[in-house]
Amino acid sequence: VGTQDPENMGTGVPASEQTSCAKGDPQVYCPDNAGGTEAGQVTDCDSPEDNRPLSEPGCSNPQDCGQLMASYEGKAKGYQVPPFGWRICLAHEFAEKRKPFNANNISLSNLIKHLGMGLRYLQWWYRKTQVEKKTPFIDLINCVPLRQIYGCPLGGIGGGTITRGWRGQFCRWQLNPGMYQHQTVIADQFTVCLRREGTTVYQQVLSVERPSVLRSWNWGLCGYFAFYHALYPRAWTVYQLPGQNVTLTCRQITPILPHDYQDSSLPVGVFVWDVENEGDEALDVSIMFSMRNGLGGGDDAPGGLWNEPFYLERDGETVQGLLLHHPTLTADTTVTHITAFDPDSTGQQVWQDLLQDGQLDSPAGRSTPSQKGVGIAGAVCVTGKLPPRGQCRLEFSLAWDMPRIMFGAKGQVYYRRYTRFFGRDGNAAPTLSHYALCRYTDWEEKISAWQSPVLDDRSLPAWYKSALFNELYFLADGGTVWLEVPEDSLPEELVGSMCQLRPILQEYGRFGYLEGQEYRMYNTYDVHFYASFALVMLWPKLELSLQYDMALATLREDLTRRQYLMSGVMAPVKRRNVIPHDIGDPDDEPWLRVNAYVVHDTADWKDLNLKFVLQVYRDYYLTGDQGFLRDMWPVCLAVMESEMKFDKDQDGLIENGGYADQTYDGWVTTGPSAYCGGLWLAAVAVMVQMAVLCGAQDVQDKFSSILRRGQEAYERLLWNGRYYNYDCSPPPQSCSIMSDQCAGQWFLRASGLGEGDTEVFPTPHVVCALQTIFEFNVRAFAGGAMGAVNGMQPHGVPDRSSVQSDEVWVGVVYGLAATMIQEGLTWEGFQTAEGCYRTVWERLGLAFQTPEAYCQQRVFRSLAYMRPLSIWAMQLALQQQQHKKASRPIAEQGTGLSTGPKLGPKEAMANPK
């Protein structure tokens, strides 16, 4: 393409669709209404799959039920729009406008506690932004503002993403790894043109926007006659064109395919337009897809951008399109086209071209390179003929080819995963477009086969079906990279002790995703602990790859000293045999330089080592990979040996250090604690199991002894008769009811342990603690409608002793709900989790940007966060629960606390059906 690191986008339409309505014979067909849904207000309890009394698990009747569709005035159901997912009328306006958490939201007492940290952060922020000219990994000064606009992102895993908002705008871009641009590009639009008897009767940009550019275009679509429906990785937008007897259904498809390690990596999306002519006259319909070359910012200003048409015939299928060549971005388009127009002008030339005959002029050859400061855009158009009462289908693809990447430090060139299948030369956009348009029906069949067991399960509430799949957006849109691993990048001295490390990394690549779009650190491990359920259940090889990378990082050290912001202490970046907090910052050089996090010295954190051990065993249990377990066994021994020093009185139970030394990095913990103590006992119990599997009798005896002593200390020091105290500090802090106090038990049960012969925490105590959390942290907080607050005092007031104890952490709540389901409290689990979904997706307008946290009022914190992927732990708990019911005697069913046969490796992965 003429550049060293070519990056090309493509929007394509198969030539076979230019004149025919749909593939196959006959070409005109009637819509199949069987897949449609009623278009009025949609409520979970009224849906056909969830029509049961409120007393049954998972069903509720909040006041806001159906409010997102309350303004929809159209009657169109759309073509085969599924009954389940997140649905919103394009005219909807969210009443509540929250703000990002900042210093103004900190109480005076907490402000005084963190004054030193605040001053050090300001100094660090100034040096980072003004001296180094870098973006801080957490920017507390310039938080991403609230924009209630996002929809399903386009693009597979690790190739970059483009987000199309629910009103139809292209508005969030992550094409450079881990770095986001939150801006709407006005020229990126779909436009419809209707013609009857050779005359254009209707032409409309399918956008509710009214911009100051391209003013010759017909903007301001009436949003009351359109709705958006998301069930990731697909989305539907239905437009009922007033007065035209025409309904358009745009279906957006991305190849997110569980257990698929090829197509899931592709940087493509497909738009399928099903056009229904409900009138008695024949009709010509044209859909024009316009796209700016670039985002209109500083990257475009130097000029030199150019577009050209392409034509590709392969395997009997022809695709035509438009390539947008950009030194940092890409695109590809089809059929009749206009190669170049100015997206900052009135746009009259393009508009009149389409208006004249429903087609574009299609000039041959490449465009002239853009001049400095002048934008350039292109457009493609597909036309189909509809007889009276007929239907046609028009297909577009959008592909971007950015094969080579460099992180911010520009120290090493990497190739994205998809280049293994489509080459590294930067000329793959036409081939990607062709492949996507030929394969998307196969992708949809696989998506349906994966999702149907959940969607067809009448025992599951509709909100859960939406949350389970839509929260998966973060696996692709979490700044995600999926890279080929160079042979020479794996150190021999470390690889030799792990037999499967090299084969796993070289076969399945290297995977990284951010803690959050605003918290820019790859594979933040204390948070991945929660999110990892989605990865190990759907792409287990990527989970194993991540674990091998974490093991490598654990065995390394970086003794460079730096100042930590919370304590002000100078300490090394990374110590040997300690799990790193994260694998690095995409604006630096991740994997080579780990621990971008500088708030705390996490070598003294109490949870990271334990979470590694617990995840290793769970991953072994769910995959059955014994080679993985053998490789990880020495690393687990090393990190547990490192952890031993935190048991200062040798009672078998570790102590926290009197500061925020775990994932709750703003919530001080002193002495033995429910959270870290529970994780410790669970990890010790897991070490006993691994020692048996690895034939290490001495290790088994050692950890069995620690476990017995630790259990006694944990119950004696922390159990108060109703729940486990937060820690062993003086009251009132120690009395706080922590929603996450059973995290250790959660992982044990997910790993087939924690009951019967492998019981660590007395089952009656666990159930009582969960019931207490439900009573106080859930029902006594915000009327029971916002999930579980992190900390609650026993007299019914949220714990405001820290900046995090009175927050709701969405990912923690989903993990808590999974724990409740594991212990037979299924109704309570669904009630708890539903509060988070309703708050985030329906009340606050934070769809496809689920935050880490929100408070009862006013604020949220850290948009688009990793931890809510933990909702897949709920699905695992349901599958394990169903497996138990199927395998236990009838007389035992329904107790919820059976000690029946444990799930074996791989069996837990079975579909619910």
Residue 327 has a pLDDT of 59
Residue 895 has a pLDDT of 28
Q: What is the largest CA-CA distance in the chain?
A: 89
More confident residue, 135 or 531: 531
Confidence of residue 109 (pLDDT cuts 50, 70, 90): confident
Half-sphere exposure of 134 (CA within 13 A, CB side): 18
Instruction: Tell which residue, 396, 373, 371, has the closest CA to residue 383.
Output: 396
Say what angle helices 810-822 and 525-538 make with each other, to 10 degrees: 60
Q: Are 384 and 285 in contact (CB under 8 A)?
A: yes
Residue 373 has a pLDDT of 84
Instruction: Tell which residue, 396, 417, 414, has the closest CA to residue 405.
Output: 414
Mean pLDDT to the nearest integer, 449-478: 97
> Distance (Å, rounded) from C-alpha 604 to C-alpha 656?
9
Is pLDDT above 60 for 571? Answer: yes
> Distance (Å, rounded) from C-alpha 736 to C-alpha 738?
6
Confidence of residue 107 (pLDDT cuts 50, 70, 90): confident
Cβ-Cβ contacts under 8 Å for 212 (sequence gap 6 or more)? none
Residue 18 has a pLDDT of 33
Instruction: Tell which residue, 853, 8, 859, has the closest CA to residue 423.
Output: 8
pTM of the model: 0.89
> Distance (Å, rounded) from C-alpha 48 to C-alpha 674?
42
Mean pLDDT to the nearest integer, 353-380: 89
For 296-311, write each residue's pLDDT tens digit: 777 776 778 888 988 8
Confidence of residue 101 (pLDDT cuts 50, 70, 90): confident
Alpha helices in 752-902 (DSSP H): 763-773, 810-822, 826-837, 871-887
For 703-745, write each residue's pLDDT tens digit: 999 999 999 999 999 999 999 999 999 999 999 999 999 999 9
For 45-77, write each residue's pLDDT tens digit: 233 233 333 333 333 333 334 799 999 999 999
Is pLDDT above 50 for 6? Answer: no
Neighbours of 611 (CB within 10 A): 26
Residue 414 has a pLDDT of 95
Instruction: Tell which residue, 293, 432, 289, 290, has the closest CA to residue 366.
Output: 293
Residue 315 has a pLDDT of 86
Confidence of residue 333 (pLDDT cuts 50, 70, 90): very low
Is pLDDT above 70 for 187? Answer: yes
Is pLDDT above 80 for 666? Answer: yes
The tokens describing 72, both together, are 């929809």
Instruction: Tell which residue, 661, 681, 650, has the closest CA to residue 599.
Output: 661
> Distance (Å, rounded) from C-alpha 884 to C-alpha 822?
11
Mean pLDDT to the nearest integer, 164-176: 95
Is pLDDT above 60 for 209? Answer: yes
Confidence of residue 607 (pLDDT cuts 50, 70, 90): very high
Residue 388 has a pLDDT of 93
What value does the mean pLDDT of the chain take?
Answer: 88
Q: Are 736 and 792 in contact (CB under 8 A)?
A: yes
CA distances from 273 to 250, 519, 558, 659, 672 (A): 5, 37, 54, 56, 59
Cβ-Cβ contacts under 8 Å for 356 (sequence gap 6 or more)? 200
Percentage above 90 pLDDT, the chain:
75
Residue 331 has a pLDDT of 31
Sign, Cα dihedral of 99, 104, 107, 113: positive
Confidence of residue 10 (pLDDT cuts 50, 70, 90): low
Strands 189-196 and 737-738: unpaired
Residue 899 has a pLDDT of 30
For 801-846, write each residue's pLDDT tens digit: 999 999 999 999 999 999 999 999 999 999 999 999 999 999 999 9
> Distance (Å, rounded) from C-alpha 594 to C-alpha 572?
12
Residue 848 has a pLDDT of 98
CA 204 remoteness from chain centre: 33
Least confident window among 401-410, 495-504, 624-633, 853-862: 495-504
Least confident window among 121-125, 585-589, 621-625, 716-720: 121-125
Q: What is the dihedral of CA 153, 157, 158, 164, to 10 degrees?
A: -10
Is pLDDT above 90 for 748? Answer: yes
> Distance (Å, rounded) from C-alpha 514 to C-alpha 525?
10
Vertex 429: Cα angle to 423 and 433 (nearest 5):
115
Is pLDDT above 70 for 39? Answer: no
Residue 12 has a pLDDT of 54
Is pLDDT above 70 for 904? Answer: no
Cis status of the peptide bond prior to 503, with omega within 30 of 0 = no
Sign, Cα dihedral of 873, 874, 879, 880: positive
> Distance (Å, rounded) from C-alpha 91 to C-alpha 67?
12
> Distance (Å, rounded) from C-alpha 640 to C-alpha 511?
25
Confidence of residue 335 (pLDDT cuts 50, 70, 90): low
Least confident window among 57-66, 279-288, 365-374, 583-592: 57-66
The tokens describing 121, both together, are 């952060």
Confidence of residue 529 (pLDDT cuts 50, 70, 90): very high
Percentage above 70 pLDDT, the chain:
88
Residue 671 has a pLDDT of 97
Confidence of residue 294 (pLDDT cuts 50, 70, 90): confident
Which three-class secondary structure state does DSSP give residue 322? strand
Residue 30 has a pLDDT of 29
Could you identify the residue written with the tokens 């689920």? 850
Confidence of residue 496 (pLDDT cuts 50, 70, 90): low
Confidence of residue 889 (pLDDT cuts 50, 70, 90): low
Least confident window among 247-256, 658-667, 893-902: 893-902
Mean pLDDT to the nearest integer, 524-549: 98
Spell out the long-range contacts of 114-118 with Cβ–Cβ below 8 A and sequence spacing 24 or more. 114/566, 114/666, 114/803, 116/568, 117/565, 117/566, 117/599
